[in-house]
Chains A and B, each alone.
Chain A
């Protein structure tokens, strides 16, 4: 069966310590609970979490929603976004099935990146690796004022922003991600076509601004 891989790239640098990281953990939990009650997503969507601080690590490999258990996230260190992009490329190669004449491969992965600061590593290498892979919709979310969105624009044209890292705003971002994954799962199952742009996702809530 064709899976819809969803990769969340979450910033767990020191600046996320305290309320923000708790809100992210809670957001992941709510995201998974919500998607589990959606028949399209429960059968189609697979979720992976990559966190980045001083290094990048895949804390949850691509996992069927039914088997997903929210990882424990801790905030410390810097913001190795470049490394996270490299790791994403590697994991996509390993985890996402390609189409062959005998088997239809997975749908193109959806990627949601969330960061509250500027990358502390050089993102060029990661960016190159990332660009060599095929993705469905890639959305980067800037949290707070400390992010230069032009850096995120290098990764994807779909950049959104929330004003600060308070719980309610982080929650609304995750709710929107959840609605987007639901819509994406439904679209592939119903029409056999994938999402290609931000405009096909549900409209973001008022707390989430689209950066043009």
Chain B
């Protein structure tokens, strides 16, 4: 080669020249290949690839990921199969990841590829892609039973139904059901349920009495406060209504009155003496309890209270109620598309402060107590519902939505249809269903992120 170009060189010179030339050329060649490789690697590294995170046990399907085949080829991705996922290749550089991951944690997938100009035996280029499998939030919640040796122990859940068969005239009569369940946040820490309820129906004169209470989360013995509140008001009303003839006469007079205002006042006073006094008795019972339990104040038993008494009369239903605190209480009529709220919830955020039965100002004067009473005559209804905020918050979100009839329809639909996505069946609220309480208790397991309070609902239907 040298002599062809007119260069005369000695043998050692020739050898040295060839060494010099090949080394130089080889280095340039290597540098050129390295540059090419780096350019491709940078392009692939900066190519936007987002593989969204998955959740354990939930079906996962990533968007289609498309890689630039003008830069590289023979793309493969390693890692998904170890998590129980598969890579679906469409064509080279086009794939998606799908399946149901079975492990949780933070992982990296490795994308491997060859750049154009890649030679047999050369290592593949790679890029790490982060990928996380979240635990299913439902698996994270523990269910630690409440220790039975705590003061004022209470069962973690409770349900009751009162099935009332048809009356002497053969017409069906409304049934009652209630269920109460400890919230997930309490279950997580082995803390007791603070909610309570009590139902009563008089077989003698057909009066219904329903009480629901929510012990304040911040009060250490509120679980007892809610229990005492429910028991006291129901027992008091029960006694008062054992002979309800005079009371029912006042209801009749009110219904037929020419002078409605006077009749309403008379009936109102009677309601006050039953429902209002029942609430006051409960307030006093809690005060007495705190006197007997050393080192406690009434506020350690702080609780809300929703109480309703009602009876079907010839001309419709008479309903009277008392309400202090949050939650919801309403007469719902599906056909007529109405929801009559039996009071105004005292909710912290908007009215400054949540009220409790244990607060003296609730009973400071007759007027403030009167404000919490409601009574009236309504035609037939679909359901009378009382619930604590553990149910009303996830269902309504805010106090304002309690006045939105569509939200009550939604609640009723959810009661009827359940939550198919969570395998929670609807509650069969047909007349004389003997399994309704189990259904309602199961229904309370519905899932809503961030809503893990104790849940209690009572329904007259």
> Are A and B genuine complex partners?
yes
Nearest CB of A to B306, in Å: 19
Q: Can you name the residue of chain B whose Cβ is closest to the Cβ of A101?
A: B400
B185 sits at the interface (CB 8 A): yes
Q: Which of A9-17, A38-46, A83-91 contacts B (4 or more CB under 8 A)?
A: A38-46
CA distance A66 to B134 in the complex (A): 6
Q: Is the CB of A1 within 8 A of B448?
A: yes
CA distance A64 to B236 in the complex (A): 50
Chain A residues positioned under 8 Å from B217 (CB to CB):
190-192
Q: Can you name the residue of chain A whose Cβ is closest to the Cβ of B394?
A: A1
Q: Is the CB of A103 within 8 A of B185?
A: no
Q: Is the CB of A104 within 8 A of B188?
A: no
- Across the interface, A103 reaches (CB within 8 A) one of B135, B141, B218, B397, namely B397
Residue of B134, B140, B450 ringed by the most chain A CB atoms within 10 A:
B450
Contact with A along B24-58 (1 / 0, CB 8 A): 00000000000000000000000000101101000
Q: Is the CB of B185 within 8 A of A189?
A: yes
- Across the interface, A37 reaches (CB within 8 A) one of B135, B184, B218, namely B135
Q: With A1-B448, A69-B53, A101-B400 in contact, do A36 and B134 touch (Cβ < 8 Å)?
A: yes
Q: Is the CB of B135 within 8 A of A36?
A: yes
Q: With A39-B141, A43-B137 in contact, do A189 and B397 touch (Cβ < 8 Å)?
A: no
Identify which of residues 14-48 in chain A touch chain B, using a CB-to-CB cut-off of 8 Å: 29, 32-33, 36-40, 42-44
Chain A residues positioned under 8 Å from B55 (CB to CB):
66
Chain A residues positioned under 8 Å from B140 (CB to CB):
37-39, 42
- Across the interface, A190 reaches (CB within 8 A) one of B52, B105, B185, namely B185
A70 sits at the interface (CB 8 A): yes
Chain A residues positioned under 8 Å from B449 (CB to CB):
1, 43-44
Nearest CB of A to B214, in Å: 12
Q: Can you name the residue of chain B whose Cβ is closest to the Cβ of A2?
A: B450
A120 sits at the interface (CB 8 A): no
Q: Is the CB of A70 within 8 A of B349?
A: no
Chain B residues positioned under 8 Å from A124 (CB to CB):
none
Number of A-B contacts (CB under 8 A): 72
Contact with B along A151-173 (1 / 0, CB 8 A): 00000000000000000000000
B422 sits at the interface (CB 8 A): no
Chain B residues positioned under 8 Å from A29 (CB to CB):
106
B368 sits at the interface (CB 8 A): no
Q: Is the CB of B106 within 8 A of A67?
A: no
- Across the interface, A104 reaches (CB within 8 A) one of B132, B349, B452, namely B349
Q: Is the CB of A189 within 8 A of B450?
A: yes
Chain B residues positioned under 8 Å from A191 (CB to CB):
217-218
Q: With A2-B450, A33-B106, A39-B188 in contact, do A69 and B397 touch (Cβ < 8 Å)?
A: no
CA distance A70 to B104 in the complex (A): 16
CA distance A101 to B397 in the complex (A): 9
CA distance A104 to B50 in the complex (A): 32
Identify which of residues 68-119 in chain A touch chain B, using a CB-to-CB cut-off of 8 Å: 68-70, 99-104
- Across the interface, A192 reaches (CB within 8 A) one of B53, B348, B448, namely B348
Nearest CB of A to B25, in Å: 37
Q: With A38-B140, A43-B137, A192-B348 in contact, do A104 and B398 touch (Cβ < 8 Å)?
A: yes
B451 sits at the interface (CB 8 A): yes
Q: With A36-B135, A37-B135, A67-B52 in contact, do A102 and B450 touch (Cβ < 8 Å)?
A: no
Chain A residues positioned under 8 Å from B172 (CB to CB):
none
B63 sits at the interface (CB 8 A): no
B433 sits at the interface (CB 8 A): no
Nearest CB of A to B134, in Å: 4
Chain A residues positioned under 8 Å from B184 (CB to CB):
39
Q: Is the CB of B132 within 8 A of A1?
A: no
Chain A residues positioned under 8 Å from B52 (CB to CB):
67
Q: With A37-B135, A42-B134 in contact, do A189 and B401 touch (Cβ < 8 Å)?
A: no
Q: Is the CB of A102 within 8 A of B137?
A: no
Q: Can you name the residue of chain A whose Cβ is closest to the Cβ of B449?
A: A43
B130 sits at the interface (CB 8 A): yes
Chain B residues positioned under 8 Å from A2 (CB to CB):
450
CA distance A66 to B140 in the complex (A): 13
Q: List 25 A-B contacts (CB under 8 A).
A: A1-B449, A1-B450, A2-B450, A33-B105, A33-B106, A36-B134, A36-B135, A37-B104, A42-B135, A42-B137, A42-B140, A44-B449, A65-B134, A66-B55, A67-B53, A69-B50, A99-B349, A101-B398, A101-B399, A104-B398, A186-B185, A189-B450, A189-B452, A190-B217, A191-B218
Can you name 18 extra interface pairs (CB under 8 A) apart from A40-B185, A43-B450, A68-B53? A1-B448, A32-B106, A36-B104, A36-B134, A42-B134, A42-B135, A42-B137, A44-B449, A66-B55, A69-B50, A70-B130, A100-B398, A101-B398, A101-B400, A102-B398, A102-B401, A190-B217, A192-B217
Q: Which residues of A contact B (CB under 8 A)?
A: 1-3, 29, 32-33, 36-40, 42-44, 65-70, 99-104, 186, 189-192
